């Protein structure tokens, strides 16, 4: 998987999609092979180094949004930045920029319950973008959205990709997968189709 790619990963339930995403997000170790991120083998890092790399280089977008209900939009985006020990002024700058990027500058003081599903997912995207990740991992990012909201989120991801982001999206939606730059299909923990590009790194995973 090369820098700047937009890759969709599909496959039936139990095929290994979630395990692959966990490996890519440094939440699990690969059962074999290596995982290189920015030229570094991160597959065998210790817990502290994994947490540091994950917080600084990887952004997550979840199907269920994973927003904290009693925090405002601003504070939800701020939460992962606080773990970096970043100064307040820099955090505010990043939060405002990322929320503007997803069209939610006017919702900073709102709470998740006051937003639509599509808006909540855009907050989740802003939270990921605020960390300036090297790779963005999206787990069924449109799975809980209506058709119109799903289309808007997909358009936003495409725009982010065109600006240079590396995105890996797990999805059951074949139409969305077809819009990615490359489509990887997995079955029983094995890659059965990786599209036209050479796969530089894909650890063996078992779902």
Give the residue extent of every domain in the chain: 6-193
Interstrand relation of 40-41 and 36-37 (parallel, antiparallel or unpaired): antiparallel
Mean pLDDT over 55-81 rounds to 94
pLDDT of residue 120: 96
pLDDT of residue 207: 31
The side-by-side arrangement of strands in the sheet containing 6-10 is: 58-61, 135-139, 166-170, 6-10, 182-187, 190-193
Q: Which two tokens stand for residue 40?
A: 């570094």
Residue 153, pLDDT > 70, answer yes
pTM value? 0.85
Residue 200, pLDDT > 80, answer no
Fold of 6-193: Rossmann fold (3.40.50)
CA distance linking residue 108 with residue 88, whole number of Å: 16
Band (pLDDT 50/70/90 cuts) for residue 135 is very high
Give per-residue pLDDT as tens, 27-36.
988 888 888 8
pLDDT of residue 201: 38
């Amino acid at each position: 998987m090369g820098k700047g790619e937009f890759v969709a990963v599909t496959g039936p339930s139990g095929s290994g999609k979630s395990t692959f995403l966990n490996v890519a997000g440094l939440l699990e170790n690969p059962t074999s092979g290596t995982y290189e991120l920015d030229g570094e083998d991160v597959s065998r890092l210790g817990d502290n180094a994994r947490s540091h790399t994950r917080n600084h280089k990887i952004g997550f977008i979840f199907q269920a949004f994973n927003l904290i209900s009693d925090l405002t939009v601003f504070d939800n985006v701020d939460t992962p930045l606080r773990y970096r020990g970043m100064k307040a002024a820099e955090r505010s700058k990043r939060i405002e920029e990322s929320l503007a990027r997803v069209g939610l500058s006017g919702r900073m003081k709102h709470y998740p319950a006051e937003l639509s599903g599509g808006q909540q997912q855009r907050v989740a995207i802003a939270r990921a973008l605020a960390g300036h990740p090297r790779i963005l991992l999206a787990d069924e990012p449109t799975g809980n959205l209506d058709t119109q909201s799903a289309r808007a989120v997909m358009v936003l991801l495409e725009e982010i990709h065109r600006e240079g982001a590396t995105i890996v999206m797990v999805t059951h939606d074949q139409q969305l997968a077809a819009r990615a730059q490359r489509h990887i299909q997995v079955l029983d923990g094995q890659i059965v189709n990786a599209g036209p590009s050479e796969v530089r790194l894909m650890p063996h995973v078992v779902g």
